[in-house]
Amino acid sequence: MYLLLAAHADGAALQEITAEGVPEPSNPEPRVVSAGDLAGVVRGIEGRHPRWIWHRTQDWYPALLRAGVELERCYDLTLCGAILAHSEFTAHTGYAQAAEKLTQDDELNQPPRALQPPPPPPEQGALFDAPAPGRRPGQSLEALRAEYAAQQESLGQAGTDSGAAGADATRRQRLQLLLAAESAGAMIAAEMQHTGVPWRAELHEQILAEQLGPRPAPGQRPAKLESLTAELRRLLQSPALNPDSPQELMRALHRNGIEVKTTRQWELKESSHPAIVPLLTYKKLSRLHAANGWTWLDTWVSNGRFQPEYVVGGVVSGRWASRGGGALQIPRQVRGAVHADPGHKLIVADASQLEPRVLVALAQDSKMAEAARDKDLYAGIAAQGFGGDRAKAKVALLGAIYGATTGESGRLMPQLARTYPRAVGFVEQAARDGEAGRTVTSRLGRSSPPPSERWLQSQQSSTAEEQRRADSIARSRGRFTRNFVVQGSAADWAACWLAELRRRLRAMRSAGTAAGQLVFFLHDEVMVQCPEDDVADCIRAIEDSAAAAKELLFGRIPVEFPVSVAVVDSYDNAK
DNA sequence: CTTCCCAGCGCG
DNA sequence: AAAGCGCGCTGGGAAG
């Protein structure tokens, strides 16, 4: 059962439609529901397991969650539309071609970004405020129904202009899987924001006090930073030095014979001047204070929860981004503040060495698959081609995925290519595609953006100098597409992992067997909080989901995607 | 004064 | 040890 949910002047409008996106013949009439009644109505319909189809999950689901309504599945027209508009699998369809035309028109007709009106403020207060009339063009029931129908038609044609019939079916199925996983991801993001990461403010404050000293008055440096500043001023003979200013710092270092080109940590470490150690300490602590200190705590943690917004589809590769509080960059220093509720445990699971394993599967490199049989892929590769030197093997493989050209990593490439011609050939091909301005595509069908304006312009180079520049721009795009196929396919895998895990956790919750809740997700890592007695069930769900994700992406292939699991009270004990 | 960009560093 | 991908956030500093 497919149910459209659209904004309406009197609240919301609902309409049952078919899988193809036409009004359900047996029940074609839309139904208008007032904003106040919506949560109750939705709850009632949910028992029939519909797929909710809406413009954006973020428009509806957060308020439903606040009203205590959790849903099983949805179809996010905005996220799915973005995938279909750019996927190589659907590039030949009318949907993608119309989208491309729209983009071009946009670029021609839109005022510069700075002149565009700011986005509306986030919704506050009442549940389901009726949107102002005319404010959201193209979001009527009819417009959304047409959009859904167009997307389904495009999806149905995925791959039909290429290759063997068998391959076509697979492409369509993969894309369909991606759309389902992306929509599930949007629900998970809203649910995790609603739930929040369990965060104990008093533990965080304890960490800050230990590292920085007592909480300073607003605008003041903490005691520890104050004393380090005094020490640096003395050691660098610069009585007014502000160590937070890279320019001042650079001048002070040069005056003292420390000839660095930047003030980055790794470059500073080259010098043995007595000021370097306190300077690095200062930088470390200053970062903690500025990014995750008392101000951060006041701003982002309340009632024992850190509730960031996750931005599904926020990264071109399919990874999530986040807004507010730097949710995807919680430094190790403060992870001790992430602490399970009484009687509960945190299960922190990460897909070990995910990207290299994804590369093995993508390239179907059987030699590398042997190395990937064991828990430690790098050790396996080291044994096969690097005389047992694990560090070397790791640097070489990561270099292949990122496109390293110089340094140790670049030097090891030929050696890696000899041992694994298929795996290296796969990323090399992606790099050449990117350099030539072609798009590349993840396993499930998410495609890289077209070449930038800069790349296009650089193609018309005439002088030798311009040509050198053009080559550099092309190589940069090559590194991007090289990484895209791996990072994007890893994101495909992670999205399926997450969706499968959500399904299992929901099933266990409704059966009353286990009460695990997803509370955090970070590219290749999930955190589930559950009662102590439910840990074993939840771990099994995490592992089964990982196995299911592998099979969904690649079928039955002899490559393992092991998950490393830690059961902890506090996040800092996870690694 | 505000706005924007950069350097630097956190995470994967 | 270090330089190659993807992000968000902060403070400094220049530009308007």
Output the DSSP codes for A404-463: --SHHHHHHHHHHHHH-HHHHHHHHHHHHHHHTT---B-TTSPBPPPPPHHHHHHTT--S
- Is the residue at A302 inside a domain? no
- Is the residue at A496 inside a domain? yes
- Please give the protein residue whose CA is closest to the C1' of the nucleotide B9: A287
Lowest mean pLDDT among A66-70, A121-125, A499-503, A536-540: A121-125
* Mean pLDDT of the A12-40 span: 96
Instruction: Report whether A511 contacts A495 (CB < 8 A).
Output: no
Separation CA A179–CA A5 (nearest Å): 18
- Is the residue at A245 inside a domain? yes
Q: In terms of domains, do A285 and A327 share one? A: no
Separation CA A499–CA A552 (nearest Å): 12
Give the confidence band of A125 by pLDDT, cuts at 50, 70, 90: very low
Q: In terms of domains, do A157 and A238 share one? A: no
Distance A487 CA to C15 C1' (A): 37
Domain boundary among A195, A222, A241: A195
Instruction: Report whether A153 contacts A95 (CB < 8 A).
Output: yes
Give the confidence band of A165 by pLDDT, cuts at 50, 70, 90: low
Separation CA A471–CA A8 (nearest Å): 53
Q: Is the pLDDT of residue A111 over 80?
A: no
Give the confidence band of A159 by pLDDT, cuts at 50, 70, 90: confident
Helices A464-511 and A421-435: angle between axes, nearest 10 degrees:
120
* Mean pLDDT of the A522-548 span: 97
Widest distance between CA atoms in chain A: 84
Please give the pLDDT value at position A22.
96
Q: In terms of domains, do A341 and A394 share one? A: no
- Is the residue at A372 inside a domain? yes
* Mean pLDDT of the A22-51 span: 97
Q: In terms of domains, do A24 and A150 share one? A: yes
SS3 for A173-227 is: HHHHHHHHHHHHHHHHHHHHHHHCEEECHHHHHHHHHHHHCCCCCCCCCCHHHHH
Q: In terms of domains, do A126 and A251 share one? A: no
Residues 6+ away with beta carbon under 8 Å from A477: A434, A435, A437, A451, A452, A455
Distance A512 CA to C14 C1' (A): 61
Please give the pLDDT value at position A162.
55
Distance (Å) of CA A574 to CA A107, A463, A563, A569: 47, 55, 13, 9
pLDDT tens, A508-518?
Answer: 999 999 999 99
Q: In terms of domains, do A168 and A106 share one? A: yes
Instruction: Report whether A320 contacts A310 (CB < 8 A).
Output: yes
User: CB of A341 under 7 A from strand C?
Assistant: no
User: CB of A93 under 7 A from strand B?
Assistant: no
Separation CA A310–CA A307 (nearest Å): 9
Lowest mean pLDDT among A127-131, A170-174, A422-426: A127-131
3-state secondary structure of A68: coil
Of residues A492 and A134, which shows the higher confidence score?
A492
Q: Which helix (H) or strand (E) segment is A500 a member of?
A: helix A464-511
β-partners of residue A185 are: none
β-partners of residue A527 are: A348, A520
Q: Is the pLDDT of residue A166 over 70?
A: no
Phi, psi for A412 (deg, rounded to 5): -80, -10
- Is the residue at A429 inside a domain? yes
User: Looking at residue A461, which CATH number applies to its domain?
Assistant: 1.10.150.20
Q: Say which residue the tokens 């771990």 belong to.
A: A539
- Is the residue at A319 inside a domain? yes
Of residues A218 and A151, which shows the higher confidence score?
A151
- Is the residue at A517 inside a domain? yes
Domain boundary among A255, A271, A297: A297
- Is the residue at A303 inside a domain? no
Positions in chain C where some atom is under 7 Å from a protein CB: 1-14
Give the confidence band of A407 by pLDDT, cuts at 50, 70, 90: confident
Q: In terms of domains, do A387 and A424 share one? A: yes
Pick out residues 372-401 of chain A having their CB under 7 A from any atom of nucleic acid strand C: 391, 395, 398-399
Q: In terms of domains, do A220 and A165 share one? A: no
Distance A222 CA to B1 C1' (A): 29
Burial code of A508-546, b = ≥16 C-beta within 10 A, e = fewer? bbeeeebbbbbbbbbbbbbbbbbeeebbebbbebbbebb
Domain boundary among A489, A523, A552: A489
Instruction: Report whether A439 contacts A447 (CB < 8 A).
Output: yes
Give the confidence band of A220 by pLDDT, cuts at 50, 70, 90: confident
User: CB of A540 under 7 A from strand B?
Assistant: no
Please give the pLDDT value at position A241.
92
User: CB of A287 under 7 A from strand B?
Assistant: yes
Nucleotide nearest to A249 (CA to C1'): C12
Helices A390-402 and A421-435: angle between axes, nearest 10 degrees:
30
Of residues A348 and A117, which shows the higher confidence score?
A348
Q: Say which residue the tokens 């149910």 belong to.
A: A3
pLDDT tens, A319-370?
Answer: 999 998 899 999 999 999 999 999 999 999 999 999 999 999 999 999 999 9
Distance (Å) of CA A166 to CA A91, A171, A445: 19, 9, 16
* Mean pLDDT of the A520-543 span: 97
Q: In terms of domains, do A66 and A173 share one? A: yes
Q: Is the pLDDT of residue A223 over 50?
A: yes
Q: Is the pLDDT of residue A117 over 70?
A: no
How many domains does chain A contain in total?
A: 4
Distance (Å) of CA A160 to CA A53, A155, A172: 26, 10, 9
Q: Please choose, from the candidates A392, A381, A391, A394, the residue with its C-alpha nearest in 3D space to the C-alpha of residue A420.
A: A381
Please give the pLDDT value at position A105.
61
The pTM score is 0.93
Distance A245 CA to C12 C1' (A): 6
Please give the pLDDT value at position A167.
63
Nucleotide nearest to A322 (CA to C1'): C8
pLDDT tens, A434-463?
Answer: 999 999 999 999 999 998 888 888 888 888
Residue A71 sits in which domain range? 2-195
Residues 6+ away with beta carbon under 8 Å from A39: A63, A64, A67, A68, A69, A127, A128
- Please give the protein residue whose CA is closest to the C1' of the nucleotide C5: A402
User: CB of A479 under 7 A from strand C?
Assistant: yes
3-state secondary structure of A43: helix
Give the confidence band of A264 by pLDDT, cuts at 50, 70, 90: confident
Give the confidence band of A21 by pLDDT, cuts at 50, 70, 90: very high
Q: In terms of domains, do A20 and A114 share one? A: yes
Q: Please choose, from the candidates A57, A51, A21, the residue with its C-alpha nearest in 3D space to the C-alpha of residue A154.
A: A21
3-state secondary structure of A353: coil
Positions in chain B where some atom is under 7 Å from a protein CB: 3-4, 7-12
3-state helix, strand, coil in chain A (%, to 5): 55, 10, 30
Q: What percent of chain A has pLDDT over 70?
A: 92
Q: Is the pLDDT of residue A164 over 90?
A: no
Q: Is the pLDDT of residue A108 over 70?
A: no
Distance A219 CA to B1 C1' (A): 20
